[in-house]
Amino acid sequence: MTVQITASEGGIPHNTIMAVGLVGSLVCLYLTYANQFLNAEYAAFFGGLAAVFALLWGTDTIKNLCSYGIGTGVPSAGMIAFGTGVIAMLLATKVETIVPFSAPIAAVVFGAIVGAVAGWIANEVMRMNIPVMVRSLTEMAIIGAIVLMGFTAAMAGGFGFDALAAREIAILGPLTTTSYVGSLLGGCLLAVSFMLGSLALQHPFNACLGPGEQQDRTMMLAAECGFLSMIAVAAISFAFIAFPAALLSLIVAIVGWYYTYVRFIELSKRDAFAWLDAKPILEPKGDD
Amino acid sequence: MTAIAAGSGGGEGINPVASAIGIVLILITLAITYFAVPAGLAALVGVIVGGLLIGFGIHFVPVGGAPAAMGQAPGIATGVAMLATGAGLAGLFGGAWAAANPEFSFAVVIAAGAVGGGLMMAITCLMVNIIYIFGMGIPAASGKVAKDPITGDTQEAYKSQGTEGHGLPFISYVGGVIGGLLGGAGGTLIYYELLQVYTATLPGMFGADAAEVLPIAVSLAGIFAVGMFLVNAVLAAYNITGTIEGPHDPKFKRFPRAIIGCATASAVCGLFAILIVMGV
Amino acid sequence: MESVLFGIGVTALAGALATIAGAAEDTESNIGSQGDPNSQVQLAPQMGYIHRIYNKAVSGEPPAYGLWVTISAGVAWAFMATGMNPVLALVIASALAIFVQGVYATTAYLGRTASLAKFEQPVYIDVIKSVTTVTMAHAFVAVFPAVVMCYLLIAALGHPFPLPLLGIVWGIALGAAGSATGNPFYGKERQYQSQKFGAGVPISASGNIVRYAEAGQRSSLDNGWFTAKLAGPASGICFGLIVFLEIWRTVLFEDVASGWGAIIAGVVIILIFTIIDRYVEVWARKNYGPYQAEATEEVSA
* Residue range B54-59: mean pLDDT, rounded: 95
Write the Ramachandran bin of A73: left for phi over 0, alpha for psi from -120 to 50, otherwise beta: left
* Residue range C170-177: mean pLDDT, rounded: 95
Q: Is A249 helix (H, G, I), strand (E, B) or coil?
A: helix
Cα torsion angle, B34, B35, B39, B44, sign: negative
Q: What are A275's strand-pairing partners?
A: C123
Which residue does chain C place closest to B94, by CA atoms? C246
The 8 Å CB, 24+ separation contacts for A175-181 are: A178/B208, A180/B206, A180/B208, A180/B212, A180/B213, A180/B215, A180/B216, A181/B212, A181/B215, A181/C162
**For residue B211, what pLDDT is reported?**
86
Contact C116 A273 (CB under 8 A): yes
Q: What are B147's strand-pairing partners?
A: B154
Q: What are A176's strand-pairing partners?
A: A170
**For residue B5, what pLDDT is reported?**
36
Please, is B252 exposed, middle or buried when counting C-beta atoms within 10 Å of its C-beta (0-12, 13-18, 19+)? middle
Give yes or no for residue C295 having a pLDDT over 60: no
DSSP annotation of B244: B
The answer to whether B258 and A126 are in contact (CB under 8 A) is yes
**For residue B24, what pLDDT is reported?**
94
Identify the residue among B2, B25, B212 best suited for mutation to test binding to A, counting A beta carbons within 10 A and taking the highest: B2
Contact A188 C71 (CB under 8 A): no
Is A266 in CB contact (< 8 Å) with chain B?
no
Average pLDDT, chain C: 91
Chain A stretch 85-144, residues whose beta carbon is closer than 8 A to a beta carbon of chain C: none
Question: C185 vs chain A: nearest CA distance in angstroms?
Answer: 19
Chains that touch B (3 or more CB pairs under 8 A): A, C
Which of A95-104, A159-168, C194-203 shows the lowest mean pLDDT across its residues?
A159-168
Angle between helices B80-99 and C163-184 (to 10 degrees): 140
Q: In the structure, what pLDDT confidence band is assigned to residue B41 with cuts at 50, 70 and 90?
A: very high
Counting residues of chain C whose pLDDT is more than 90, the rounded percentage is 77
Write the Ramachandran bin of B77: left for phi over 0, alpha for psi from -120 to 50, otherwise beta: beta
Give yes or no for residue A288 having a pLDDT over 70: no
Chain C partners of A1 at a C-beta cutoff of 8 Å? 43, 47, 203-204, 206-207
Give yes or no for residue B222 having a pLDDT over 80: yes
Which residue does chain C place closest to A276, by CA atoms? C124
**For residue C255, what pLDDT is reported?**
84
* Residue range C147-168: mean pLDDT, rounded: 95
**For residue A10, what pLDDT is reported?**
73
Question: C186 vs chain B: nearest CA distance in angstroms?
Answer: 8
Helix (H) or strand (E) holding A276: strand A275-276
Q: What are the tens digits of pLDDT across the range B143-200? A: 889 899 999 898 989 999 888 999 999 999 999 999 999 999 999 999 999 999 999 9
Do the strands A275-276 and A176-179 form a parallel or antiparallel pair, or are they unpaired?
A: unpaired
Q: What are A170's strand-pairing partners?
A: A176
* Residue range A154-161: mean pLDDT, rounded: 87
- C-alpha span between B222 and B195 (Å, rounded): 8
- C-alpha span between B153 and B146 (Å, rounded): 8
Q: How many helices (H) and strands (E) does chain B have?
A: 9, 0
Counting residues of chain A whose pLDDT is more than 90, the rounded percentage is 63
Which residue does chain C place closest to A72, by CA atoms? C60
Chain B partners of A121 at a C-beta cutoff of 8 Å? 22, 235, 261, 264-265
- Higher-confidence residue: B21 or A182? B21
Q: What are the tens digits of pLDDT across the range A23-74? A: 999 999 999 999 888 888 899 999 999 999 999 999 999 998 887 877 677 8
The answer to whether A55 and A223 are in contact (CB under 8 A) is yes
Give yes or no for residue A250 having a pLDDT over 80: yes
Beta-carbon-side half-sphere exposure of residue A261 (alpha carbons within 13 Å): 19
The total of other beta-carbon atoms located within 10 Å of residue B200's CB is 16
**For residue B3, what pLDDT is reported?**
35
The total of other beta-carbon atoms located within 10 Å of residue A112's CB is 16
Q: Which of C230, C281, C283 is facing B135, going by the closest CB pair?
A: C230
Is B100 in CB contact (< 8 Å) with chain A?
no
Contact B216 A186 (CB under 8 A): yes
Chain B stretch 206-225, residues whose beta carbon is closer than 8 A to a beta carbon of chain A: 206, 208, 212-213, 215-216, 218-220, 222-224
The total of other beta-carbon atoms located within 10 Å of residue B175's CB is 28
The answer to whether A220 and A16 are in contact (CB under 8 A) is no
- C-alpha span between A231 and A209 (Å, rounded): 26
Q: In the structure, what pLDDT confidence band is assigned to residue B278 with cuts at 50, 70 and 90?
A: confident
Write the Ramachandran bin of B137: left for phi over 0, alpha for psi from -120 to 50, otherwise beta: left
Q: What are the tens digits of pLDDT across the range C101-118? A: 999 999 999 999 999 999
- C-alpha span between B85 and C63 (Å, rounded): 10
Alpha helix ranges (H) inside A67-160? 75-98, 103-120, 133-156
| Residues B82-120: b if buried by 16+ CB within 10 A, e if exposed | bbbbbbbbbbbbbbbbbbbeeebeeebbbbbbbbbbbbb
Angle of CA points B16, B22, B28, to nearest 5°: 140
Q: How far is CA B88 from the centre of its chain?
A: 6
Which residue does chain C place closest to A77, by CA atoms? C59
Provide DSSP, A138-203: HHHHHHHHHHHHHHHHHHHS---HHHHH-EEEE-STT-EEEESTTSTTTTTTHHHHHHHHHHHHHH
Give yes or no for residue A155 having a pLDDT over 90: yes
- Higher-confidence residue: B38 or B8? B38
Chain B partners of A120 at a C-beta cutoff of 8 Å? 18
The answer to whether C142 and C21 are in contact (CB under 8 A) is yes
- C-alpha span between C210 and C204 (Å, rounded): 15
- C-alpha span between A58 and C78 (Å, rounded): 28
Radius of gyration over every alpha carbon of chain B, rounded to an integer in angstroms? 20
Q: What are the tens digits of pLDDT across the range B78-88? A: 888 899 999 99
C-alpha dihedral, C213 to C215 to C221 to C226, nearest 10°? -60
**For residue C261, what pLDDT is reported?**
93
Question: B277 vs chain A: nearest CA distance in angstroms?
Answer: 8
Q: Which of A125, A194, A209 is facing B257, going by the closest CB pair?
A: A125
- C-alpha span between B196 and B193 (Å, rounded): 5
- C-alpha span between B123 and C248 (Å, rounded): 15
Is A74 in CB contact (< 8 Å) with chain C?
yes
Counting residues of chain A whose pLDDT is more than 70, the rounded percentage is 93
* Residue range C167-176: mean pLDDT, rounded: 96
The answer to whether A215 and C115 are in contact (CB under 8 A) is no
Give yes or no for residue A254 having a pLDDT over 50: yes
The answer to whether B152 and B34 are in contact (CB under 8 A) is no
Write the Ramachandran bin of C267: left for phi over 0, alpha for psi from -120 to 50, otherwise beta: alpha
* Residue range B112-131: mean pLDDT, rounded: 96
Which candidate, C287, C247, C239, places its Cα nearest to that of C18? C239
Which of A190-199, B237-246, C278-287 shows the lowest mean pLDDT across its residues?
B237-246
Contact A121 B22 (CB under 8 A): yes
Average pLDDT, chain B: 90
* Residue range C142-168: mean pLDDT, rounded: 95
Give yes or no for residue C219 having a pLDDT over 90: no
Cα torsion angle, B192, B196, B197, B198, sign: positive
Q: How far is CA B195 from CA A164, A190, B198, C185, C278, in A?
A: 18, 17, 5, 42, 39
Which of A46-55, C68-77, C212-221, C230-239 shows the lowest mean pLDDT across its residues?
C212-221
Which residues, other chains included, contact A75 with Cβ-Cβ below 8 Å and sequence gap of 6+?
A: A198, A199, A202, A206, B1, B2, B79, B82, C59, C60, C63
Give yes or no for residue A274 having a pLDDT over 70: yes
Angle between helices B170-206 and B210-239 (to 10 degrees): 140
Give yes or no for residue B2 having a pLDDT over 80: no
**For residue C291, what pLDDT is reported?**
87
Q: What are the tens digits of pLDDT across the range C10-33? A: 999 999 999 999 999 999 999 999
The answer to whether A59 and A214 are in contact (CB under 8 A) is no
Give yes or no for residue C299 having a pLDDT over 70: no
**For residue A170, what pLDDT is reported?**
67
Chain A partners of C151 at a C-beta cutoff of 8 Å? none
| Residues B136-171: b if buried by 16+ CB within 10 A, e if exposed | bbbbbbbbbbeebeeeebebeebbbeebbbbbbbbb
* Residue range C217-233: mean pLDDT, rounded: 91
Question: B186 vs chain C: nearest CA distance in angstroms?
Answer: 15
Contact A180 B234 (CB under 8 A): no
Average pLDDT, chain A: 89
Contact A180 B212 (CB under 8 A): yes
The answer to whether A40 and A240 are in contact (CB under 8 A) is no
Is B228 in CB contact (< 8 Å) with chain C?
no
**For residue A131, what pLDDT is reported?**
87
